[in-house]
Homo-oligomer: A and B are copies of this chain.
Amino acid sequence: MKKIHRPVVGIMGGSTCSKELYNDTRLMAGKLAARGVVILCGGGSGIMEAAARGASESGGLTLGILPGSSAGQTPPNRWIQIPIYTGLSDARNAVNVRSSQAILAVGGSYGTLSEIALALKIGKPVVTYKTWDLPPPPTGDRGPLHAAGNPDEAVRLLLDLVEME
């Protein structure tokens, strides 16, 4: 029987971003989706919209893990095909991290930092692109953190990580 589980990459980043980061994210998501990767994000604006847009435009599948309990509370961006309404507010970040086989973190601020931290805590691999440059932790090792210098490198790293599953 063919494998039925589908590879999922979570793309995390700020709800506002520069035009350059928006376009880079849309490009990366499109390339991942073209390879059959499901794109998961927080369902909102900024980096989240760019991720869902790039994937949808490439014919891929997009999931938005929303903080609110309904579309009325937190409407998904228009490129989300399947919205999941967690009703968890910011704690939904943990669901994003757990449900992705690898994480791409782009730009952002403290919300993105909390997602990077949660991922590294549970040993989930994170590829960073133009985001936090973390110092080493006070205790323990650095975890599976990969800094990508450009969009192509990020896509290559993520495809490798998802393949390893």
Establish whether residues B82 and A8, one from each chain, have CB atoms under 8 Å apart when the complex forms.
yes
Establish whether residues A139 and B86, one from each chain, have CB atoms under 8 Å apart when the complex forms.
no
- Please indicate the chain B residues that have their CB under 8 angstroms from the CB of A107 in the complex: 138-139
- By beta carbon, the residue of chain B nearest A143 is B110
Establish whether residues A138 and B117, one from each chain, have CB atoms under 8 Å apart when the complex forms.
no
- Please indicate the chain B residues that have their CB under 8 angstroms from the CB of A108 in the complex: 137-139
Establish whether residues B69 and A90, one from each chain, have CB atoms under 8 Å apart when the complex forms.
yes
Q: Is the interface of A mostly helix, strand, loop or mixed?
A: loop
Instruction: Name 15 interchain pairs, CB-CB below 8 A, sorted by A.
Output: A4-B78, A4-B79, A5-B76, A17-B139, A65-B84, A69-B89, A84-B99, A85-B95, A87-B89, A88-B88, A88-B95, A91-B95, A109-B121, A132-B135, A132-B138
Nearest first, the 7 closest Cβ-Cβ pairs linking A and B are: A114-B117, A87-B89, A91-B94, A110-B121, A85-B98, A113-B117, A91-B91
- By beta carbon, the residue of chain B nearest A65 is B84
Establish whether residues B109 and A137, one from each chain, have CB atoms under 8 Å apart when the complex forms.
yes
Q: Does A146 contact B (CB under 8 A)?
A: no
List residues of chain A with CB under 8 Å of any chain B CB.
Answer: 4-6, 8, 14, 16-17, 38, 56, 61, 63, 65, 69-70, 76, 78-91, 93-95, 98-99, 107-114, 117-118, 120-122, 130-135, 137-140, 143
Known: A6-B81, A111-B121, A114-B121. 7 other contacts (CB 8 A): A4-B78, A8-B82, A16-B139, A69-B98, A85-B99, A109-B138, A113-B113
Residues A118 and B109 in contact in the complex (CB < 8 Å), given A78-B4, A91-B95, A98-B87: no
Q: In the complex, A56 Cα to B6 Cα: how many Å?
A: 13
